[in-house]
Amino acid sequence: MIEIVIATQNLDKFREITYILKGPGVKFSNLATLNMPPEIGNTLEENAIMKAEYGFKMTNRISIADDSGLEVESLNRLPGVYSARFAGIGATYKTNRDKLLLLLAGQPTENRGAKFRCVVAVTGIQNEPTKIFDAELNGYITEEDKGELGFGYDPIFFVPELGKTLAEIPSETKNQISHRAIAFLKVKHYIKNYM
């Protein structure tokens, strides 16, 4: 049995990641009881590495962390690295969405193009440097929340290929096509080779 630390305190994210990574001989834990360092990196990559290396330092186990961001082209790729705190420190999923919708109010669809990016760092595998995996999902921002599933910006992120927002599709589908799913499937393949 191999124990892998998912270096996050976000239980929504932990559930989604472990759903993707689950397999025989693997057990997962998170850092819910520890004080995570603040995300002060200037890029998703910097934040993912910092969290993964912190998880390894605190547990001495293989540690995986991601940083994900929503990038809106017409807003110079904001909120980007600030996605989780776009509406300020202590922002909720709803207040972040509301701020974004306000900034895009009245904009036509062609100015609402966006992509989700996910960067994952894996550290603590014998003699291997920290590895980075990434993926993205393209779509656009709707004018209002649609759907009750998912979390974060999912209710306003429309995926044209599906004709729905990420919050309107079941987790089984989301966990096959999302930016996080694609990045973590790369991680799963990497870990499987290690095992």
C-alpha span between 47 and 17 (Å, rounded): 17
CA Rg, the chain, in Å?
A: 17
| 81, 41 contact by CB (below 8 A) | yes
Q: Which tokens sit at 98?
A: 């509301």
DSSP string, 40-91: --SSHHHHHHHHHHHHHHHHSSEEEEEEEEEEEGGGTTEEGGGGGGTT-TT-
What are the beta bridge partners of residue 141? 157
- Under a CB-based contact definition with an 8 Å cutoff, are residues 137 and 159 in contact? yes
How far is the first Cα of the chain from the last one, in angstroms, to the nearest whole number? 10
Give the active site residues. 67
What are the E-state strand segments in the chain? 2-6, 26-30, 62-72, 78-79, 113-123, 131-141, 157-159, 164-165
Question: How far apart, in whole angstroms, are the C-alpha atoms of residue 46 and residue 148?
Answer: 32
